[in-house]
Chains A and B, each alone.
Chain A
Amino acid sequence: MSAISLRGVTRRYGERTALAAVTLELPTGQTLAVLGPNGAGKSTLLRVLATLLRPHAGELAVLGHSLPQENWAVRGKIGLLGHEPMLYRELTARENLRLHAKLHGVALERIGELLALVALDRRADEPLRTLSRGLVQRVAVCRTLLHDPELLLLDEPRANLDPAACEIIEPLIGRASRKTRVIVSHDPAGALLEADLVLGLRRGRAALLATPTELDCQQLAELYR
């Protein structure tokens, strides 16, 4: 079964087309890496999949539900780790996670469990503004996973994280998580290692769509040219 199915999905911002007729299928449990230069439409694609933006044309289904008609059905099954941590700077990690736990109807015990998994339990009661960006990213990972989503939408998930922190979050959002994942990355080499399918976007269009083994360096270099 496809976790994600896109047919001719288009999204515009005013006159500018951010996504142009993107078509792909991603089976459940697999990982899609989305590559492309700045402004190619990668983050827009994630926001469309997360139900935060409506497509202006095309057909889109996520976890078996047509969007945007059935947005309500997939909310709560998606975890989005974006550029912004979606956390209040003046609240502590625990307070932020408590708020999101209430929003998702998740038991509060899950918070302590996740904070321990990302090695943040000691600093969980400090306001986020006092934490480094790397630590805030760890809290954002907890926020993303709080409700145990079926689909992970990850925009540069390792941004601001040191190698040790990357190791800590690997079992949570890496391949070992066994979740269906869409990863936006500016690191093609790293993304190829994780991906089952690679989508290369250029000016909103799908410039390449292939498995990592089908790709060669020339095609990747062409994508960023």
Chain B
Amino acid sequence: MKLFSGRRAFVLQRLSALVLLAYFAAGALRLAFGPPVTYLQWQAWSAQPLAAAALLVLAAALLGHAWVGIRDVVLDYVHPPGLRLAVLGVAAAGLTFLASWTVLVLVSHVNSA
């Protein structure tokens, strides 16, 4: 089945890994060497459209990477087709919920600023 094609998952996993690596490196440097962030700074920074877009890219990479990880574990260890479909369905629904919720949170935040 095309949905379970290994190459697409492989590419998505590697690309999202590189995106996450860049964000985590930047975040770790900021955490280690920058002053603590206040609410007002965080609020103002994340309300800029470009910053909110960058946070959305981070969320998309994290959720896409999580999807490939869950998918790989399920395909390796859950063999009955019905159960496999159910577990993947629950995972996909959960990740889709988190993605939509993040879009709503960030869009309303940018609009409220």
Mutual binders A and B: no
Q: Which residues of A contact B (CB under 8 A)?
A: none
Q: Which residues of B contact A (CB under 8 A)?
A: none
